[in-house]
Amino acid sequence: MAFYNRNSILNSMIVGRPIINLRSITRGLRHLLKEYASQGIVPFLIGFGFFLQGCGLVFDAVEMVHPLAPHELSAICSRGQVRVGISVEPFRPFVFPAVYTDEGVRVTGLDVELIREVAEALTTYCGGQKPVVPTLHLTRFRDLFIEMNEGHLDLFVSSVGGNVPGARPVGLWYSIPYFHNDGVGAMIQNPEVAERVRAQFQHQAGHADTLAAIQAGLSGLTVAAQKGRTSHLYAEANLKNIRLLICDSLPAAVETKDPRIDVILSTHSILDYVTKHVWPDWHLLTRNDGTPLILTQEYFSIVTVEEHGRLQWFLNNLLYRLEESGRLEQMRRRWVEEDYAPTRRAATEGLPFEVSKVPDHYDQGQCRFATGR
C-alpha cells in the first residue's frame, strides 16, 4: 500500500504538476476502505463520517460500494459524446496539422481513424439509436495528461508510448497496444554525424552492446527531443554525455538554428514520414547495414484514468477485436505505407474539433538546454 508513487517525480516532469498529488492520497484511502469493507469497518466509518462536516472521502467510499452516479460508459451514452484529447503538435502520420476543408476545419491521421472506431463501437454499445460523437480537444501534448487528470477528457490518443519507463503519470491507465513495433529513432542533417555513429557501431562489432555504441556515437553531440515524449525520457535516462535540447515540438527542433542540432530523436515512424514528406533535408540515422537505427522499442496506447474500469475493458476488448480482424494492420498500412495526400483524407474522413479548446495561436514553441543533468 503506497500513498505516493515512486514515478511521481518523473510524472511531475511530464505534466508539470506538484509531486504531492491529492488524487493519489484519495486513491490510497479508497484502497484501504476497500480492503476493510469485508470486516464491517466501512459501515462504522460511514456512520462516523456523518459526524464529520465536509468529509468527501467517506462519500467517495460509499459510492465505490454502491455507485450513486452512472458509470463512465453510461455517462458517455447519455451525453452522446465522447471527449477525446489529441495533441495539437503534429505527429504525422498519427496526427496531421489541422487543415481547412470544404466542411470546415478538420484533423486527420491514424489516431483520428482510431478515434472514429472507438466512437462507432460506443454507438453500438449505447444502443445505436443516436451516434456517439467524438468531441476532439486539440491540446498541447504536455497538457493532455493534466486535462485527463482533471476530468475534462474521457480518453486521449496521441501516439503515446504504453511501455516506456517513467512515462505513466499517477492516476492514468494505458490500454493494450494499438500500434506495435515502433520505437525511438533519430534523424540527422549532417552526413558526418551518421559516419561518426556508424564508426562506433563498427568499433563495437562483436560486442553487440547497442546501448554502449549509441552512447559513444552520440557523445558530445547536441541532441534534441520533445518534452515529455519517449525520446526525451530515453535521453534523460540513457544518454548522459550529450548536450540535450528539450523542444516544445518536433517542428521547433527542426527550425532551431542556434544552437545547431546534430541529432533529433523522436518516434521512428514519425521520423520516417517527415524525412520522406516534410523535411527532405533531414535523413534517418541508419546502422551500418542501412537499416534504421532504433534506440528502444515502444508501442502506443490509448490513455484514460484509472477509475474508469468499464471504459478500460471496453477499449481493450475493442483493440483486441480490431487486432484480430486485421483492422489495426489495415490502418497501419493506410497511414504508414501508402502514398496519400493528408489534406484530401482530412476532407473526406477528418474530424472537426472544438476550436474553443485549442490554443489561440498555435506556436510550435522553442528549444532550450536541459538543466540539472
Partner 1 sequence: MLMKSRALLFISLSLVCFLMWSSIGWAQAPREEIEITAQHLATLLNVGRLIIERNQTLINDSRIGNKGFTPEVFEHEVVDEFIGQTQIDLKHLPSHLPSLATELLPVLLQSSKEVVADAQFVINQRGIGYKNFIPATFGSQAARKFSNRSHVKIKQTTLNPRNLKNTPDAYEENVLKRLATQPALNTSIIEWINNDTTLRALTPIYYSQDCLACHGNPRGILDISGYPREGAQEGDLAGAISIQIPMKSR
Site string for partner 1, 172-201 (x = CB under 8 A): ------------------------------
> In angstroms, what CA-CA distances link 143 with 13, 248, 267, 311?
12, 12, 19, 21
Residue reference for cell 516532469: 13
DSSP type of residue 291: P
**Is residue 336 within the footprint of partner 1 (CB under 8 A)?**
no
Q: Which of 40, 257, 341, 372 binds partner 1 (CB under 8 A)?
A: 341
302 close to 217: Cβ distance less than 8 angstroms: no
**Is residue 2 within the footprint of partner 1 (CB under 8 A)?**
no
Shorter beta-carbon distance to partner 1: residue 344 or 373? 344
243 close to 369: Cβ distance less than 8 angstroms: yes
**Is residue 258 within the footprint of partner 1 (CB under 8 A)?**
no
**Is residue 363 within the footprint of partner 1 (CB under 8 A)?**
yes
**Is residue 220 within the footprint of partner 1 (CB under 8 A)?**
no
Q: Which stretch binds partner 1 (CB under 8 A): 32-40, 306-314, 317-325, 353-361?
A: 353-361
83 close to 357: Cβ distance less than 8 angstroms: no
- The reply to whether omega before 259 is within 30° of 0 (cis) is yes
Q: With contacts defined by CB under 8 A, how many residues of the chain interact with partner 1?
A: 29
Q: Which of 117, 255, 307, 323 binds partner 1 (CB under 8 A)?
A: 255
d(CA 69, CA 13): 33
d(CA 296, CA 184): 5
DSSP type of residue 7: T
Q: Least distance to partner 1 from the beta carbon of 102, Å?
A: 4
First to last CA, the chain: 32
Site string for partner 1, 47-86 (x = CB under 8 A): ----------------------------------------
Binding residues (CB under 8 A) for partner 1: these are 90, 97-105, 249, 251-252, 255, 340-347, 355, 358, 360-364
